[in-house]
């Protein structure tokens, strides 16, 4: 199959785009950034077909599996922070107007769950588009 993308575009993707995306998956704890990165990969598959992703399909599948297992950096980083905060003495957060912090924590948990759902949706969309692009 002839590659529909010009060689300089493929070279740019190889040297800039994919290394940047892979670094984001390894170091970024902001789930919105990961959501958008997954969307970009999906759109790349949809628009350009197999040419940009075929060399990186193994790495992309590895990332997909980590996201589905909830072991990706963005999914585990927040839990590490939460584990440290849970280690506080119960006496420290009892009474004294800490109800507002509890409400904020509940809102953050709900927002975190929303982002997890979006990440799951974007991950499954990427799986579908990769399958379409790469075929059999």
Ramachandran angles phi, psi of 129, nearest 5°: -70, -35
Q: What DSSP letter does each residue of 60-79 carry, written as one string?
A: HHHHHHHHHTT-SHHHHHHH
Task: Name the 3-class secondary structure at 111.
Answer: helix
pTM: 0.76
CA distances in angstroms from 54 to 59, 63, 112, listed in the order given: 10, 15, 32
Q: What DSSP letter does each residue of 1-40 carry, written as one string?
A: ----S-HHHHHHIIIIIHHHHHHHHHH---HHHHHHHHHH
CB 63 within 8 A of CB 127: no
pLDDT at 88 over 70: no
* For the chain, percent of residues with pLDDT exceeding 90: 60
Give the tens place of pLDDT for each residue, 15-69.
999 999 999 999 999 999 999 999 999 999 999 999 889 999 999 999 999 999 9
User: How far apart are alpha carbons 15 and 3 in whole angstroms?
Assistant: 18
CA distances in angstroms from 91 to 88, 98, 99, listed in the order given: 8, 11, 14
């Amino acid at each position: 199959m002839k590659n529909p993308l010009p060689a300089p575009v493929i070279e740019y993707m190889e040297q800039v785009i994919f290394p940047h995306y892979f670094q984001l998956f390894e170091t970024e704890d902001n789930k919105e950034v990961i959501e958008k990165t997954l969307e970009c990969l999906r759109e790349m598959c949809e628009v350009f077909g197999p040419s940009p992703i075929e060399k990186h399909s193994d790495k992309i599948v590895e990332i997909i599996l980590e996201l589905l297992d909830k072991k990706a950096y963005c999914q585990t980083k927040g839990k590490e922070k939460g584990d440290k905060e849970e280690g506080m003495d119960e006496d420290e957060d009892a009474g004294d107007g800490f109800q507002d912090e509890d409400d904020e924590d509940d809102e953050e948990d709900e927002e975190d769950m929303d982002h997890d759902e979006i990440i799951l949706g974007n991950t499954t969309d990427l799986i579908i588009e990769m399958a379409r692009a790469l075929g059999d």
